[in-house]
Amino acid sequence: MISRLLKVTLTEWKLFFTDPAAVLLLVVAGILYAFYYPTAYMNQTVSRVPVAIVDLDHSAKSRELTRMAAATQQVEVKAVFNDMLEAETAMAREDIFGFMVIPENMEKNLIDKKTTKIDIFTHGAYVMLHGTIGTAFSTCALTVGAVSKVKAIALGKKVPSAKAMAMRDPMPLSIQTMFNNTGSYSNYVVPSVLVLILQQSLVIGICVLGGARGHRRFRRNQRYSEVENESMPYRYLGRSLAYFMHYCCFILFYHCVIYNIFDFPRRGELLPMTIFAVVFLASVINFGMCLSQVFLHRESSMQLFLNLSIPILFLANFSWPSYLMPSWMVGLSYILPSTFAVPAWLSIEQMGGDIYDVAPKLYLLAIQAVIYFVLGMFLTHLRDKSKFTTGDM
């Protein structure tokens, strides 16, 4: 019994390296995309964004603020203008992506203990640049204001600078970013995309290789081979085992190689990673086996799922919170294994979660696996009854 199952598994696994489309999807895609996506974010965080400063005060304090902004890593001060029109023109040409306006009488107002308003303008079309510029400029402005305030308190009340700082800010805040200490965009987006790469390449690969005997990409003299005429449960389970073992290697490759090369947070332990791999791959493989019974031509699955990659990405619950989505979209997302796999993967790998932390997501993946397994077996049984000429690819 085991030898019959392994024979189907080995025959299917050989196709991964002999069928041109299967090689592209089941071997090349998983490796190529794993390096391609993170490479664009090698710098980890946004830095040296071109900006400008509009200095309407022309005072020692405004020059101090300008120097402080120029010294930050996040932005690079390309120019200091004397009026806003010049800065607006430069931003319209995208020579700069933001500017800070230092108002007239800023130094005088600080000395007189009056409020001074600093305006910061950013290019809203670039969300990442917008946040970086705003943070850099606001930090510099708040620092200059705080230093002036502390000096005034120290001189006025004749107290040490440390006490003056405590009087100025009696309840300082300490904001800690958990699980992504550098605030890296690659640490945020790439681990989730890796899960989608596994899902999409596996589902399309299963569909490309065909479902029932009548839809398999074999020449006429191969259709009557011993393996292709094996009983349905052996064929279904044997093929599934081939995909499972193959993609376990991919998960191990991502965990041990890709995460090390690109320095992604890797806190996952062996037990939760193993259980995640079993449940996730079981769900995706059976999902693919179901869909493979639907497509009569191998190109159809590729055309459909490549076009659906972006919608599936948005439904994966990492780019936008699910509670802010319409209910019908949330319901639609429950069809896809990635909806539950992405947060489970992030909880294990980036947060160091144990099996109990991700159990709710793994339960849902297991339910998906069982449903798709029963449906896949049923559809395979129905498709096996079709003639060999049906859906010849």
Residue 390's pLDDT band (cuts 50, 70, 90): very low
Residue 219's pLDDT band (cuts 50, 70, 90): very low
pLDDT at 314: 83
pLDDT surpasses 50 at 317: yes
Give dist(CA 195, CA 306) in Å, integer: 15
pLDDT, mean of residues 139-151: 78
Q: What is the DSSP letter of 30?
A: H
Residue 393's pLDDT band (cuts 50, 70, 90): very low
Q: What percent of the chain has pLDDT over 70?
A: 87
pLDDT surpasses 90 at 5: no
The pTM assigned to this predicted structure is 0.81
Q: For the sheet containing 119-122, what is the strand order? A: 75-81, 49-55, 98-102, 119-122
| Contact between residue 77 and residue 52 where contact means Cβ atoms under 8 Å apart | yes
Domain boundaries, the chain: 2-41+185-384, 49-168
At residue 263, what is the residue type?
A: D
Give dist(CA 368, CA 223) in Å, integer: 32
pLDDT, mean of residues 189-194: 88
Residue 221's pLDDT band (cuts 50, 70, 90): very low
pLDDT surpasses 60 at 224: no
Spatial CA neighbour of 391 closest among 326, 301, 306: 301
pLDDT at 379: 87
pLDDT surpasses 80 at 251: yes
Provide the residue count of the chain: 393
CATH class of 49-168: alpha beta
Question: What does the pLDDT look like over 253-300, one tens digit per residue?
Answer: 998 899 888 888 888 888 899 999 999 999 999 999 998 888 777 777
pLDDT surpasses 70 at 203: yes
pLDDT surpasses 80 at 130: yes
